[in-house]
Structure 1
Amino acid sequence: MSRLRVLVLMGGPSTEHDVSVVSGTGVVRAMNPERYNIHPVLIDKDGTWHWSARELSPYQKDNFSVNYFRSLEGTAACTKKSPALSELPAADIAFLALHGKWGEDGHIQALLENWGIPYTGCGLLASALAMDKIKSKEIYRANGIPTPPYRVIWKHDFTGDTLVSVADELGFPLVIKDPLGGSSIGIGIAKNLDEAGKIAQDLFKDSNRLLCEKFIAGGEASCGYIEGEKPLPPTEMRMTTREYFDFEAKYNGECQEVTPAEFPAELTARIQELAKNAHFALGGAGYSRTDVRIAKDGQIYAIETNTLPGMTPTSILPAQAACNGITYSQLIDMIIDKSLAIKR
């Protein structure tokens, strides 16, 4: 049987570039060379693509790191900004280890669809909707999925009275977000109007609109969903030194991720159902992961859905899959197989 030709895309121009490289590295190392012809592709922050015309050897695969691209020489080294399809290695599918803007917001999905290359994860529209936290909340509400009360504020008509009105409606603490921020980057929690004003002014430097959301006191969890598979157990985020699950908590060890979460069975089932409903409400395909807040009264709220959740060996989705007896390598096979069956 011929091997599948797989492009593993990693990096990208978003603030999550480095995390994406770790995801891509883990995926490459875990892929079975007897099943796959592997071509890793690094996309720099400036949009330059790096790849090799040759497939990885088993040794290169097992020891793969970002240094691989620096070691390429001669005709094996391919570097170009905005390459044409004909310049890339022929591929049966692209494994997207990208995160954040450009990789998770529909841009790369649109490019691959134009090229006729199947890819892993959700499609163009679902990716764009899920990346936009305002649009995704509108869809949650329209489909009866609970999400914290919110207001949208705009840079062009922002005044000192804007946040007074928002605070009167939503109260403090007040969560303020860049609606297109990823990995909990571009988010702040204000305890008063002065803090809210400073956070808003800072976030308006990179966005024309902001999402103001009522802070739900309680706990936080995240739950993956894989179509056609046994429900995954949620992960509880136990904060150590921070109030909420932000970038530092995720990647600097300031949060303990407990998988499976030690929740009552009834709460676990509700979180799993919410993750499934959020996935399909957004038009998801294959797999996704939804973050939730758990209020002190037990009510759960959808915060956001990740259409390309982290895929490092220690990421939440692989940890949840492991609880169901699915190894990291098997999860990669499963994602590829399910993605090849999707009709875009």
Structure 2
Amino acid sequence: MSRLRVLVLMGGPSTEHDVSVVSGTGVVRAMDPEKYNIHPVLIDKDGTWHWSSRELSPYQKANFSENYFHSLEGTAANKKKSPALSELPSADIAFLALHGKWGEDGHIQAMLENWNIPYTGCGLLASALAMDKIKSKEIYRANGIPTPPYRVIWKHDFTGDTLVSVADELGYPLVIKDPLGGSSIGIGIAKNLDEAGKIAQDLFKDSNRLLCEKFIAGGEASCGYIEGEKPLPPTEMRMTTREYFDFEAKYNGECQEVTPAEFAPELTARIQELVKNAHYALGGAGYSRTDVRITKDGELFAIETNTLPGMTPTSLLPQQAACVGITYSQLIDLIIDKSLEIKR
């Protein structure tokens, strides 16, 4: 049986570049060299792509790191800004270890479809919709999926009175987000009007519109969904020194991730049903992961759906898969197999 030729794309121009490299590194190291002909591709923040025309050797795969790209030399080494995808090694599929803007919002998916290269995960429309937290909330609401009340504010007509009106409707604490932010970047929680104004002004530097959302007091969980597989257990986010699951909590160890969550079976089942419904409402394909807020009375609210959830060895989706007997390496196989079956 011939090996599948796989491009592993990582990096990208978004604020989640470094996290993506960690995801891509984990994926490459865990891939079975007897099943796959592996070609890692690094996309720098400035749009420069790095790759080799030669597949990874077993030694390079086992010891893979970002340094691999910086050590490339000779005629096999390639470094080009915004290349045509036809210049990359021919592949049966591209494994997307990208996160955030450009990698998770439909851009790379559209490029790959244009060059007839299959890829892992959700399609371009679902990716774009899920990345836009305003549009995804509209879809949640249209499909009866509970999500916190919200308002949208625009930079072109923003005034202090705008926030007064929003706060009168949604109350404090008030969650303010860049709708295209990722990895818990571009978000703040205001306890009063002064804080809300400062957060909004700061976020307006990078966005023309912001999502203002009612803060749902209680707990937080995240749960993956893999089409056709047994339900994954949710992970409970137990804050230690942070008020909410922001970038520092996620990546600097300021949150305890409990997988599987120690919820009652009935609550776990409702979370699993919610994330499944969110996945299909957005037109998801293959797999996704949805973040959920839980009130003290057990009421659930979908916060956002991630169409390319983190794939570091310790990320939430691999944690949850391990609980149902799917190893990290098997999860990669499963994602590739299911993605090859998707009709784009």
TM-score using structure 2 length: 1.00
Query: d(CA) in 2 for partners of 1:314 and 1:65?
Result: 16
Query: d(CA) in 2 for partners of 1:81 and 1:107?
Result: 16
Per-residue CA deviations over 1:240-298 (Å, capped at 9, x if unaligned) read 00110000000000000000000000100000000000000000000000000001111
Query: d(CA) in 2 for partners of 1:84 and 1:160?
Result: 47
Q: Percent identity?
A: 93
Q: Retained in 1: the 8 A contact 2:86–2:115?
A: no
Per-residue CA deviations over 1:165-185 (Å, capped at 9, x if unaligned) read 000000000000000000010
Q: SS at the partner of 1:74?
A: coil
Q: Retained in 1: the 8 A contact 2:148–2:214?
A: yes
After TM superposition, give the deviation of residue 317 of structure 1 in Å.
0.1
Q: SS at the partner of 1:75?
A: coil
Query: d(CA) in 2 for partners of 1:70 and 1:138?
Result: 43
2:40 corresponds to: 40
Query: d(CA) in 2 for partners of 1:193 and 1:73?
Result: 56
Query: d(CA) in 2 for partners of 1:85 and 1:200?
Result: 38
Q: SS at the partner of 1:46?
A: coil
Query: d(CA) in 1 for partners of 2:228 and 2:115?
Result: 28
Query: d(CA) in 1 for partners of 2:315 and 2:88?
Result: 29
Q: SS at the partner of 1:337?
A: helix
After TM superposition, give the deviation of residue 234 of structure 1 in Å.
0.1
After TM superposition, give the deviation of residue 70 of structure 1 in Å.
1.0
Q: Retained in 1: the 8 A contact 2:178–2:186?
A: yes
After TM superposition, give the deviation of residue 324 of structure 1 in Å.
0.2
Per-residue CA deviations over 1:79-129 (Å, capped at 9, x if unaligned) read 001112331100000000000000000000000000100000000000000
After TM superposition, the runs of 4+ consecutive aligned structure 1 residues lying more than 2 A away are: none
Query: d(CA) in 2 for partners of 1:264 and 1:137?
Result: 27
Query: d(CA) in 2 for partners of 1:6 and 1:136?
Result: 31
After TM superposition, give the deviation of residue 150 of structure 1 in Å.
0.3
After TM superposition, give the deviation of residue 76 of structure 1 in Å.
1.8
After TM superposition, give the deviation of residue 62 of structure 1 in Å.
0.4
1:21 corresponds to: 21
Q: Retained in 1: the 8 A contact 2:26–2:311?
A: yes
Q: Retained in 1: the 8 A contact 2:27–2:312?
A: yes
**Paired residues for 1:51-200 under 5 Å:** 51-200=51-200
Q: Retained in 1: the 8 A contact 2:224–2:287?
A: yes
After TM superposition, give the deviation of residue 71 of structure 1 in Å.
1.0
Per-residue CA deviations over 1:286-334 (Å, capped at 9, x if unaligned) read 0000000001111010000000000000000000000000000000000
Query: d(CA) in 1 for partners of 2:45 and 2:241?
Result: 31
Query: d(CA) in 2 for partners of 1:336 and 1:85?
Result: 20
Query: d(CA) in 2 for partners of 1:126 and 1:297?
Result: 31
Query: d(CA) in 2 for partners of 1:43 and 1:85?
Result: 13
Query: d(CA) in 2 for partners of 1:330 and 1:139?
Result: 32
After TM superposition, give the deviation of residue 19 of structure 1 in Å.
0.2
Query: d(CA) in 1 for partners of 2:167 and 2:85?
Result: 50
Query: d(CA) in 2 for partners of 1:266 and 1:86?
Result: 50
After TM superposition, give the deviation of residue 209 of structure 1 in Å.
0.2
Q: SS at the partner of 1:61?
A: helix
Per-residue CA deviations over 1:127-159 (Å, capped at 9, x if unaligned) read 000000000000000000000000000000101
Query: d(CA) in 2 for partners of 1:141 and 1:49?
Result: 39
Q: SS at the partner of 1:22?
A: helix
Q: SS at the partner of 2:127?
A: helix
Query: d(CA) in 2 for partners of 1:251 and 1:176?
Result: 21
Q: What runs of 5+ residues in structure 1 fail to find an aligned partner?
A: none
Q: SS at the partner of 1:225?
A: strand
Q: Retained in 1: the 8 A contact 2:219–2:295?
A: yes
TM-score using structure 1 length: 1.00
Query: d(CA) in 2 for partners of 1:158 and 1:316?
Result: 37
2:328 corresponds to: 328
Query: d(CA) in 1 for partners of 2:80 and 2:15?
Result: 21
Query: d(CA) in 2 for partners of 1:236 and 1:92?
Result: 37
Query: d(CA) in 1 for partners of 2:92 and 2:280?
Result: 26
Query: d(CA) in 1 for partners of 2:81 and 2:241?
Result: 42
